[in-house]
Structure 1
Amino acid sequence: MSRDELSNRSNDSGGLELKQIVFIGRTFEEYMKMFNLTVDEINGRSILDCPGGACSFSSQARKLGANPMAVDMAYEYKIDELELKGFQDIEHTMKQMEPVQSIYVWDQFGSIQGLKEERTRAITDCVADMKMFPDRYVASVLPDLPFADEQFDLTLSAHFLFTYADRLDVDFHIATIMELLRVSKREVRIFPTVDLSGERYKHMDELKLILEELGYTVSEEPTAYEFQRNAHTMLQIVKHNRTR
């Protein structure tokens, strides 16, 4: 989900229009760093990417023996429409980044051109996988998910919760996290733990206390990934009713 989608949530009575969606995603390699994952850790596991956007995690994880599923409200649109919109969005976003390069860490991408190449690779892989496995890309609007209890071994959620803390209230965060936990057997990982200004989510301690009182183990874990400054930590929530 994008900023444009969020800004239209309260005004939306008949579904979002495609022009309100920004369809851009991260690469598999970014996901592995963001969530402290190894290939051995994903092999043979069912993994939910929520929201999946135009990310290539599912595409590459599937090739490495995982059983991934992606969910996003954008998937209600036709794949060809999303592909076209995604490439347009990459061009537009790169132009917007020119004057604000200093608020990002360029160690991984090197330059805006390097970032563009990675975002292009992500959507290219994603679209190819969507065409091959359309039933593995499910349209849904959080905080509701159309999946069974504990359907997935692991759930990953990138650049949505906490990121848009100025538009998503505490109740929405709690409801969404509880839904992510409902469909997960073992754990949920959320990246990053800061908002768009780079500040730690202001209700994090309150949220952690609620989850700990419910019996979950909750920790903020440093990661090897940082593009937005200060966005280098994930929230890991582990359930204890199952063994790995």
Structure 2
Amino acid sequence: MSRVEQSIKLDLERIVFIGRTFEEYLDMFSLSAESLKGKKILDCPAGACSFTAVGSKHGLDVKAADIAYYHSEEDLYNKGLQDIEHAMELMDKAKSNYIWDYFKDINGLRKYRLSALNDCAKDIRKSSGRYVPVTLPSLLFNDAEFDILLSAHFLFMYADRLDYQFHITTLNELLRVTQEEIRIFPLVDLEGKRYEHLDKLIGYLADNGCLVEEVKVPYEFQANANSMLIIKKGNKERGSVQRYR
């Protein structure tokens, strides 16, 4: 195996390729398919989520962006299968940290994760142009290219690995490519604790003209992960903050 091949294999091993279903996205972000009609949508980072695949079948104009898409569909699918089984093994030991209203049990959760992976992998194979490889905090899109941007299970979750400046730099880039609004879910870290710099970050966004809302959503699997942040692009004047708890 060459050094390049070894590097690619190592990079893929560092990626966790697990995703959520289209239905989960609608609940996580308090959206309906009808409300997204006519919008240009970006899911970033999208991972193995089926939002782009199923959303396109519903007539939505949606693209997915993720560092994982530098790899082939076959490699990603196989990695996804491994990651799902590994996650299910870990989940069995940490069931008490989760709320089982949505999935009922681990077998139900596995079905959702496999469904998302299958739909995503098939769509990458068929319509690869919808899946854009990126390395945050940089995005290869034009200014205000998308009306709405959805970002799930990345920012805030990995507060132990991604520092505050990374969050600010990434949010500025997400805002650059978005014309109307960004929705981020959840607002907690992997331990279920509210992101420690969230108020500071919200203040930064408001100072830069954004309208920021912290909103409860009809979805909670990880305990305490039941709120999202809505960031609406504002004018040059100072923005504002609203919280709905």
Global fold match (TM > 0.5): yes
Deviations 1:40-67 (A, max 9, x none): 1111211100001000000111111211
> Map of 1:224-235 to 2, 5 A cutoff?
224-235=218-229
Q: What amino acid does structure 1 have at the position aligned with 2:47?
A: G
Q: Do 1:42 and 1:65's aligned partners in 2 also have CA atoms closer than 8 Å?
A: no
Deviations 1:22-41 (A, max 9, x none): 11100001100011111111
Matched residues, number: 229
Quote how far apart the aligned CAs of 1:15 are.
9.1
Quote how far apart the aligned CAs of 1:109 are.
0.3
Q: What amino acid does structure 2 have at the position aligned with 1:192?
A: P
The alignment's TM-score, normalised by the length of structure 2, stands at: 0.91
Match of 1:198 in 2: 192
Quote how far apart the aligned CAs of 1:17 are.
2.1
Quote how far apart the aligned CAs of 1:127 are.
0.7
Determine helix, strand or coil for the equivalent of 2:206. helix
Quote how far apart the aligned CAs of 1:14 are.
8.2
Q: What amino acid does structure 2 have at the position aligned with 1:126?
A: C
Distance in 2 of aligned mates of 1:133 and 1:44? 20
Cα pair distance change 1:196/1:123, threshold 3 Å: same
Distance in 1 of aligned mates of 2:208 and 2:166? 18
Q: Do 1:42 and 1:61's aligned partners in 2 also have CA atoms closer than 8 Å?
A: no
Q: What amino acid does structure 1 have at the position aligned with 2:99?
A: V
Determine helix, strand or coil for the equivalent of 1:115. helix
Deviations 1:77-121 (A, max 9, x none): 000110111111111111111111000011000000000000000
Match of 1:144 in 2: 138
> Map of 1:70-219 to 2, 5 A cutoff?
70-219=64-213
Q: What amino acid does structure 1 have at the position aligned with 2:213?
A: S
Q: What amino acid does structure 1 have at the position aligned with 2:34?
A: D
Distance in 2 of aligned mates of 1:15 and 1:151? 32
Determine helix, strand or coil for the equivalent of 2:182. strand
Determine helix, strand or coil for the equivalent of 1:198. coil
Quote how far apart the aligned CAs of 1:240 are.
3.2
Structure 1's unaligned 5+ residue stretches are: 1-12
Distance in 1 of aligned mates of 2:204 and 2:14? 34
Distance in 2 of aligned mates of 1:57 and 1:235? 19
Quote how far apart the aligned CAs of 1:16 are.
5.0
Q: Do 1:79 and 1:131's aligned partners in 2 also have CA atoms closer than 8 Å?
A: yes
* 2:81 is the counterpart of 1:53: no
Structure 2's unaligned 5+ residue stretches are: 1-6, 236-245
Distance in 1 of aligned mates of 2:71 and 2:197? 34
The alignment's TM-score, normalised by the length of structure 1, stands at: 0.91
Match of 1:7 in 2: none
